[in-house]
Amino acid sequence: NAGVTQTPKFQVLKTGQSMTLQCAQDMNHEYMSWYRQDPGMGLRLIHYSVGAGITDQGEVPNGYNVSRSTTEDFPLRLLSAAPSQTSVYFCASSAALGRSNYGYTFGSGTRLTVV
């Protein structure tokens, strides 16, 4: 019963480097999303997807790309890392399409530091 799996748990990047944060879920959820968590800011939505092949921007999409080739996977790509992207990143999934009362299942997070 894995739920939502995020890798890696920790990562240090140099400014300008690129990387991909992985997210996989085994619950056949249609909805997946990426949030970043910063002190005093709560969680802010980066990108989300309502199914394979469909993605859309959230509140803070700049500097990030996503794709959804399968129901299970929703990777987040940092194209050219900047210190402002230092944060904790959470992936979440839900069976919430069309149903407002479903909660989200969160991964355990990736702590990213850009130096």
Partner 1 sequence: GNSVTQMEGPVTLSEEAFLTINCTYTATGYPSLFWYVQYPGEGLQLLLKATKADDKGSNKGFEATYRKETTSFHLEKGSVQVSDSAVYFCALSDLAGAGSYQLTFGKGTKLSVIP
8-state DSSP, 53: T
Candidate ranges 21-29, 60-68, 77-85, 90-98; the one touching partner 1 (CB under 8 A): 90-98
Q: Which CA distances in Å does 89 have to 99, 101, 103?
A: 25, 24, 18
Judged by CB under 8 A, which of 54, 63, 72, 84 binds partner 1?
54
Hey, how many other C-beta atoms are within 10 angstroms of the C-beta on 114? 19
| Paired tokens of 61 | 């999409």
Question: Is position 107 an interface residue for partner 1 (rule: CB under 8 A)?
Answer: yes
Distance CA 112, CA 114 (A): 7
Asked if residue 28 binds partner 1 (CB under 8 A), the reply is no
Question: Quick check: 76 and 47 in contact, CB under 8 A?
Answer: yes
Q: Pick between residue 62 and residue 101 the one whose CB is nearest to partner 1.
A: 101
Which stretch in 15-23, 62-70, 74-82, 102-110 sits in contact with partner 1 by CB under 8 A?
Answer: 102-110
E strand or H helix that includes residue 111: strand 110-114
Q: Applying CB under 8 A, does 22 fall inside the site for partner 1?
A: no
Footprint of partner 1 on this chain (CB under 8 A)? 4, 31, 33, 40-43, 45, 48, 50, 54, 56, 90, 92, 94, 96-104, 106-109
